[in-house]
């Protein structure tokens, strides 16, 4: 195992362990008697999680400010799209134009690509429906006249920046 991968695995165990410990303490109600069992459970959970889901090189350098920008854009986009969908649902004058859009994703198959699909599946009006033979993602859309591919490109760019990479790179 190379040194860089060992360091990422140690960091992953540490940060995942902290997350599991906080989750344990929240579920346990924060009692002092739960501190030691919580540390043990969190350490085992973190170790198991790294063995079952090793750190992805594409998520090695998460950038907090870029992640905050992605989150703000996601929340704002969800609100705007939700209002648009509600308008379409309650207004017969605004028919839906259902269809599929093919998006040539730049992210290679990885946890980062799965995260991209998960984020875009939560955006109202689009839903990943698979991929074609070339690896491009296929999205089911409520309105194919909207600039869906452009919006997906912006989302992908923001996600890659939040993960500390650049489009076209696997690291």
Domain ranges of the chain: 3-55, 64-162
CB atoms within 10 A of CB 139: 24
Residue written as token pair 């991209």: 116
Report the Cα–Cα distance between both ends of the chain, in Å, rounded: 17
- For 76-123, how does the pLDDT look when each residue is reduced to its tens digit (9 = 90+)? 877 887 887 788 778 877 777 889 999 999 888 887 888 899 888 877
* Distance of alpha carbon 28 from alpha carbon 24, whole angstroms: 6
Residues in the chain: 171
The CA radius of gyration of the chain, in Å to the nearest whole number, is 20
Copy the structure tokens of residue 54. 């090793």
pTM: 0.59
């Amino acid at each position: 195992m190379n040194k860089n991968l060992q360091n990422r695995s140690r960091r992953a165990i540490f940060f995942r362990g902290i997350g599991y410990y906080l989750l344990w303490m929240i579920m346990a109600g924060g009692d002092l008697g739960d501190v030691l069992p919580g540390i043990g459970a969190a350490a085992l959970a973190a170790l198991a999680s790294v063995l079952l889901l090793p750190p992805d090189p594409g998520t090695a350098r998460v950038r907090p400010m870029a992640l905050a920008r992605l989150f703000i854009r996601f929340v704002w986009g969800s609100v705007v799209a939700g209002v648009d969908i509600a308008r379409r649902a309650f207004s017969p004058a605004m028919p839906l134009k259902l269809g599929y859009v093919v998006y040539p994703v730049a992210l290679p198959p990885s946890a980062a690509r799965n995260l991209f699909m998960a984020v875009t599946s939560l955006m109202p009006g689009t839903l990943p429906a698979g991929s074609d033979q070339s690896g491009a993602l296929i999205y089911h859309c409520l309105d194919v006249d909207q600039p869906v591919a452009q919006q997906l490109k912006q989302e992908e760019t923001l996600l890659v920046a939040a993960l500390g990479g650049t489009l076209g790179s696997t690291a």
